[in-house]
Structure 1
Amino acid sequence: MAVGSDGWAGMGGDWSDADDIRRRLDEGADPERWSGGRPLHRAAAFGSPEAVAVLARRVADVDALENGVTALWEAVLSRKADHARALAAAGADPWRPSLGGWSPGRLSLAGPTPELFPVPEGICLTDTERAAAQEAARLTMALGEFYYEGTGLACVTGIDAAEAVRRLQATPVDRELRDQLSELLEDPYAYDMDESLWFIGVTSVPGGCVVTQPWGYAPQMPGVLARLSAGTLCYGLYANPKSGNQGSIVRNGTIEGSDLHPGGGPDEDDTSAEVLASYLYRHNAVAYACAFADLRLNDGRAVVGPPDVWVELPHRDYWSC
């Protein structure tokens, strides 16, 4: 077969060409198998409604599972409403329970298209879930869009900037150094990381404070989070340019989670609340980190600057708690 052993050779990230998919299927491509997973799941997230419809007519079970979820779940999670409608028209079940007890249909009630499927009597969001969805919409809108690759954050519940500075035993920088830091923000990679790592910004926000370093990982170092989290909770984020978003949870000086992936999709063993948060803040790691710490920012200044205060950390080992 010219197109490969399963018929999908050369397929990459774009599954939107329905004519190409139809041709491959007619030539013997396997509708159930592709080297990167199930073709229908891939099209549900990265294709077109037409491509989804073509594949849905060829599979044995439109609700077949991959990694514990259906193609319809993938469409809803990816906020591809037209893909989801095409799958439902092909017989996919919107109300089949999935991760964290959520069904694709019920999850859609928390997103931008709550009218996506006819809702059976008795199916609804709880007051807590509805409030979480409303806050997610508000927070993501308030933060807006900005470039944050390379940024380190610590989102701290219940303390203000002054208390954060006190806990870190940090020293406010003078005006001359503030001017240098402004230059650093223009081209951070022109400066020595060993020197710039010690400088962080701290800003009070509704619900707590944000510690930021737009050019480095200092706020997420374990020793920083341990000091900030005394009697409270921190969510640390480093938007690593090499490996993606890295998250950590520290409560009262104890690490509860590390090597997390804020802004990514939910996992099979996630709780109901974790699945909802992953859906509401998918592809928005900064908003996820803020929401986890119950911070209710009104704009992005606490993240991208200018902060309330620039401070210099004491030079010590921050890689242990």
Structure 2
Amino acid sequence: MRKPGREAGEEGRRLVAALGEFHHDGFGPACAAGIDAAEAVRRLGGTPVPDDVMEDFLDDPYAYDMDESPRLVGVTTVPGGCVVARPRGYAPQMPGVLALLSVGTHCYGLYANPKSGNQGSVARDGTLEGGDLHPGDGPDEDDGPEEVLNSCLYRYRYRAVAYAYASAGLRPTDSRAVLGPPDVWVELPDRDYWSR
């Protein structure tokens, strides 16, 4: 349900403040409405990653080629749903991941591409509805009223991560789903996530 203007504006300010300032180049979250971390892991078929493997990865995520380790993701429950995220990489925004997470609900995926800017995707009930979106960069000429308000009036301009959270209706109280540690680190099964 769409919030009235003032309420949405207040929520936008609260969300931006809760997330705070952080460097997000290379970051990739998928924000899923109405499911928790356990359900997200179940839908994705994720298996827990040993602490020592994650410690090695997190010590220097830039030492790994994204194509060699794209399947490691953190999953965190937040008010309104959950966030599947990766500190460096596009795994959460892959179409197959978004399709699995969005069954019976909707989600917004983001990859903060350091080379070409923020790239967003929307999935609803297992189907990718939009891709190559530019969250937080201002409205596009084809955007509807809600997208225009989200990008400009509600303080999400230049705040791509906050825009992704808001688009899925998530209401985190802090930046833990972004900066960690997540509720659980999992490895996604080896499958084709690009052809969904």
TM-score by structure 2 length? Answer: 0.94
Q: Unaligned stretches of 5+ in structure 1?
A: 1-125
SS state at 2:85 partner: strand
1:138-153 maps to which residues of 2 (within 5 A)? Answer: 138-153=14-29
CA distance in 1, matches of 2:183, 2:171: 16
Is the aligned partner of 1:162 residue 2:38?
A: yes
Higher mean C-alpha deviation, range 264-273 or range 212-221: 264-273
Match in the other structure for 2:136: 263
Q: Which runs of 4+ in 1 moved over 3 A?
A: none
Match in the other structure for 1:8: none
Is the aligned partner of 1:320 residue 2:187?
A: no
Match in the other structure for 2:169: 294
User: How many percent identity over aligned positions?
Assistant: 67
SS state at 1:259 partner: strand
SS state at 1:268 partner: coil
Is the aligned partner of 1:283 residue 2:158?
A: yes
Match of 2:72 among 182, 190, 199: 199
1 or 2, which has the higher strand percentage? 2
Residues 234-282 of structure 1 show CA distances to partners (whole Å, capped at 9, x for unaligned) of 1000000110000000001111111000001113343222211111210
Is the aligned partner of 1:228 residue 2:101?
A: yes
CA distance in 2, matches of 1:164, 1:265: 30
CA distance in 2, matches of 1:213, 1:306: 11
Letter in 2 for 1:168: L
Match of 2:89 among 216, 228, 231: 216
SS state at 1:193 partner: coil
Letter in 2 for 1:304: L
Match of 1:272 among 134, 139, 145: 145
1 or 2, which has the higher helix percentage? 1
Match in the other structure for 1:245: 118
Match in the other structure for 1:118: none
SS state at 1:248 partner: strand
Match in the other structure for 1:41: none
TM-score by structure 1 length? Answer: 0.58
Match in the other structure for 1:46: none
TM superposition shift of 1:127: 6.9
CA distance in 1, matches of 2:57, 2:79: 26
TM superposition shift of 1:157: 0.2
Match in the other structure for 1:305: 180
Match in the other structure for 1:63: none
Match in the other structure for 2:9: 133
CA distance in 2, matches of 1:221, 1:285: 17
CA distance in 1, matches of 2:116, 2:6: 33
Letter in 2 for 1:172: P
Match in the other structure for 1:9: none
CA distance in 2, matches of 1:168, 1:189: 25
1:19-58 maps to which residues of 2 (within 5 A)? Answer: none
TM superposition shift of 1:304: 1.9
Higher mean C-alpha deviation, range 171-180 or range 197-206: 171-180
Q: 1:136 to 1:319 in 2, by over 3 A?
A: same
CA distance in 1, matches of 2:12, 2:4: 12
Larger Rg: 1
Larger relative contact order (CA 8 Å, sep ≥ 6): 2
TM superposition shift of 1:195: 3.0
SS state at 1:194 partner: coil
SS state at 1:310 partner: strand
